[in-house]
């Protein structure tokens, strides 16, 4: 029997008031970016855990694909996975500088980082992404469907079919294609983790197509978990509330993102690092009895 861990080796935990843990709005004036946005142009810069996150080997030796991993929540997940010992495939759409920064953070943890640029709206690319990851790393244990696209509009007439189609292809079709291609490779004990949203439960009218896709992803998560358990694979989701990422100044008008997150109980948006540990836990053996679940991280806005 293993010896009981000596708790005297740990320093006392210092509690932090969550209302004051990170920056609050109003945020400085900044120009609306072209989607998908740039981390370097954001003020303040999002916190992905660069200075604070310390791993403990929870994912040692595992291989993970994370979509939309160049910035925001995806970058924070990649950093945390790497510091927990996992090799990471970093998929992104077009922000090369952001992707290189994520790659540097992953490699600094002493694990492999494979960077793959490509458009998830293409079924063939989704299939190639899975196959290339398995070929280069030797196996695949974790798939994180995190990439998403959104645009805002003030009336239903302003949402074109083209925009609606792009949002659905990125947010719903791609996770389906990726999961379908990944399932033959993921062993029992592996995980698929989806990023959904509070918008799937409490939709904002100016995000109508995005909200609709996130409702669909909640249903997909729960249905897929029942199919995937036939081979011992767990499928879960994380539902963020407002999070300070390039998606915000990249898709919202200045009046919306200047006070972004002020309507939460914390009076601020989350930073990406505040969500990433949920993805670590869901991928680890600590969550061995968890599947078909959606975990909210909404700043107290969760309506379910």
Residues taking part in catalysis: 210
Q: Is the peptide bond before 44 cis (omega within 30 degrees of 0)?
A: yes
Task: Return d(Cα 91, Cα 113) in angstroms, integer.
Answer: 10
Q: What are phi and psi of 103, to 5 degrees?
A: -60, -45
| E strand or H helix that includes residue 181 | helix 174-182
Half-sphere exposure of 255 (CA within 13 A, CB side): 1
Question: 203 with 212: CB under 8 angstroms?
Answer: yes
Question: Angle of helix 208-228 relative to helix 174-182, nearest 10 degrees?
Answer: 20
238 strand-pairing partners: 195, 295
170 strand-pairing partners: none
Task: Return d(Cα 36, Cα 17) in angstroms, integer.
Answer: 32
Question: 164 with 211: CB under 8 angstroms?
Answer: no
Question: 271 with 69: CB under 8 angstroms?
Answer: no
212 strand-pairing partners: none
Q: Is the peptide bond before 36 cis (omega within 30 degrees of 0)?
A: yes
Task: Enumerate long-range contacts of 210-216, CB under 8 Å, 24 or more apart.
Answer: 210/148, 210/149, 210/150, 210/151, 210/167, 210/171, 212/168, 213/148, 213/167, 213/168, 213/171, 213/172, 214/171, 214/239, 216/171, 216/172
Nearest to 190 by CA among 62, 25, 19: 62
């Amino acid at each position: 029997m293993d010896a009981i861990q000596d708790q005297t080796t740990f320093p006392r935990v210092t509690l932090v008031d969550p209302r004051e843990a990170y920056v609050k709005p109003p945020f400085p004036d900044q120009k609306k970016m072209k989607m998908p946005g740039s981390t370097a142009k954001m003020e303040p810069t999002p916190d992905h855990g660069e200075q604070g996150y310390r791993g403990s080997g929870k994912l040692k030796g595992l291989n993970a694909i994370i979509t939309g991993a160049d910035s925001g929540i995806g970058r924070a997940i990649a950093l945390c996975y790497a510091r927990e010992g996992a090799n990471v495939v970093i998929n992104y759409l077009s922000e090369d500088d952001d992707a290189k920064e994520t790659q540097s953070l992953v490699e600094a943890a002493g694990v492999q980082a494979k960077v793959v640029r490509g458009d998830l709206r293409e079924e063939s690319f989704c299939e190639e992404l899975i196959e290339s990851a398995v070929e280069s790393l030797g196996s695949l244990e974790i798939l994180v469907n995190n990439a998403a696209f959104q645009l805002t509009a003030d009336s239903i007439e302003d949402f074109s079919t083209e925009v609606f189609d792009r949002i659905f292809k990125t947010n719903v079709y791609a996770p389906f294609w990726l999961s379908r291609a990944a399932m033959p490779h993921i062993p029992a004990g592996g995980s698929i983790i989806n990023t959904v949203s509070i918008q799937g439960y409490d939709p904002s009218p100016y995000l109508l197509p995005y909200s609709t896709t996130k409702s669909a992803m909640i249903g997909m998560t729960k249905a897929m978990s029942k199919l995937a358990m036939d081979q011992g694979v767990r499928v879960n989701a994380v539902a963020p509330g407002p999070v300070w990422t390039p998606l915000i100044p990249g898709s919202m008008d200045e009046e919306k993102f200047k006070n972004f997150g002020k309507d939460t109980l914390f009076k601020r948006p989350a930073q990406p690092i505040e969500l990433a540990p949920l993805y670590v836990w869901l991928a680890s053996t600590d969550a061995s009895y968890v599947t078909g679940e959606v975990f909210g991280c909404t700043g107290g806005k969760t309506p379910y």
